[in-house]
Structure 1
Amino acid sequence: MSRIVYLNGEYLPEADAKISIFDRGFVFADAVYEVTSVIGGKLMDFEGHFARLQRSLNELDMQHPLTREELLSIHRELVEKNGVSEGMVYLQISRGNPGDRDFLFPSDEVAPTVVMFTQVANLLDSPKAKTGIKVISVDDIRWGRRDIKTVQLLYPSMAKMMAKKAGADDSWLVQDGFVTEGTANNAYIVKNGKIITRQLSNDILHGITRAALLKYAAEAQMEVVERNFTIAEAQAADEAFITGASTFVTPVVEIDGTAIGAGKPGPVALRLRELYIDEGRKAAL
Structure 2
Amino acid sequence: MTLPNERVAWFNGEFMPEREVRIPFRDSSWIYGDGCFDMTRSFGHKLFKVKEHVQRLYRSLKYLRIDPGYGPEEMCRLSEELFERNRHLLGPDDDYWLAQRISRGVRPVEGDNLDHHGPNIVLECMPLPFRQRASLYEEGIKVAVPSARRTPPESLSPRIKSHNYLNLIVASQEVHAMDPSAWAILLDINGNLSEGLGSNIFVVKDGVILTPHERYVLPGVSRQTVIDLARSEGLRLEEADIDLYDAYNADEVFITSTSLCLCPASRVNGVEIGPKGQVWGPVTRRLADAYCRLVDFDWVAQYRRHLDPSAPSRPF
- Tell me the TM-score normalised to structure 2 length: 0.81
Deviates more, 1:269-278 or 1:206-215: 269-278
Contact 2:58-2:72 at 8 Å conserved across structures: no
Hey, what does 1:133 align to over in structure 2?
A: 141
Within the candidate set 261, 279, 285, 2:294 is matched to 279
Supply the distance in 2 between the matched residues of 1:253 and 1:45 (Cα, whole angstroms): 29
SS of residue paired to 1:63: coil
Equivalenced residue count is 274
Q: How does 1:101-180 map to 2 (within 5 A)?
A: 110-121=117-128, 126-138=134-146, 139-142=148-151, 143-167=155-179, 168-175=181-188, 176-180=190-194
Q: 2:255 corresponds to which residue?
A: 242
Structure 1 residues 196 and 110: CA distance shift in structure 2, 3 A: same
Deviates more, 1:164-173 or 1:254-263: 164-173
Deviations 1:71-104 (A, max 9, x none): 2222222222222451210111111111349xxx
Counterpart check, 1:93 vs 2:102: yes
TM-score, normalised with respect to structure 1:
0.89
Higher share in strand: 1
For residue 53 of structure 2, what is the aligned residue in structure 1?
A: 49
Amino acid at match of 2:178: A
Aligned to 1:197: 211
Which letter maps to 1:127?
S
Cα deviation for residue 145 of structure 1 reads 1.2
Is the 1:86–1:122 contact (alpha carbons within 8 Å) kept by the matching residues of 2? no
Instruction: Work out whether 1:256 is the aligned partner of 2:269.
Output: yes
Counterpart Cα distance in 1 of 2:72 and 2:288: 28
Equivalent residues of 1:137, 1:231 under 8 A apart: no
Q: Which moved more, 1:265-274 or 1:191-200?
A: 265-274
Structure 1 position 196, deviation (Å): 0.5
User: Which 5+ residue runs of structure 2 have no aligned equivalent?
Assistant: 111-115, 298-316
Distance in 2, matches of 1:100 and 1:236, equals 57
Partners of 1:54 and 1:64 within 8 A in 2: no
- Rounded to whole Å, the distance in 2 between the matches of 1:149 and 1:100 is 28
Report how far residue 141 of structure 1 moved.
Answer: 4.4
Amino acid at match of 1:207: G
- Of 202, 207, 212 in structure 2, the residue corresponding to residue 188 of structure 1 is 202
Match of 1:186, as an amino acid? N
- The CA distance in 2 between the partners of 1:95 and 1:280, in whole Å, is 34
The within-5 A match list for 1:74-85 is 74-83=78-87, 84=90
Do the aligned residues in 2 keep the contact of 1:45 with 1:280 (CA within 8 Å)?
A: no
Structure 2 counterpart of 1:105: none
Structure 1 residue 166: Cα displacement = 2.0
CA–CA distance in structure 2, aligned partners of residues 39 and 206 of structure 1: 21
Listed one character per residue, the Cα deviations across residues 159-181 of structure 1 (whole Å, up to 9, x for unaligned) are 22222222242111012221111
Structure 2: which amino acid aligns with 1:152? N
1:127 is displaced (CA, Å) by 3.1
Amino acid corresponding to residue 26 of structure 1 in structure 2? W
Distance in 2 (alpha carbons) for counterparts of 1:39 and 1:65 = 30
- Give unmatched runs, 5+ long, in structure 1: 102-108
Contact 1:44 1:281 in 2 (8 A): no
Q: Residues 173 and 183 of structure 1 are in contact (CA less than 8 Å); yes or no, is this contact kept in structure 2?
A: no
Verify the 8 A CA contact 1:123 1:247 in the aligned structure 2.
Answer: no
The 2-side partners of 1:248 and 1:80 are apart by 22
Deviations 1:95-138 (A, max 9, x none): 1111349xxxxxxx953111111111256994312321001112
* Structure 1 SS opposite 2:193: strand
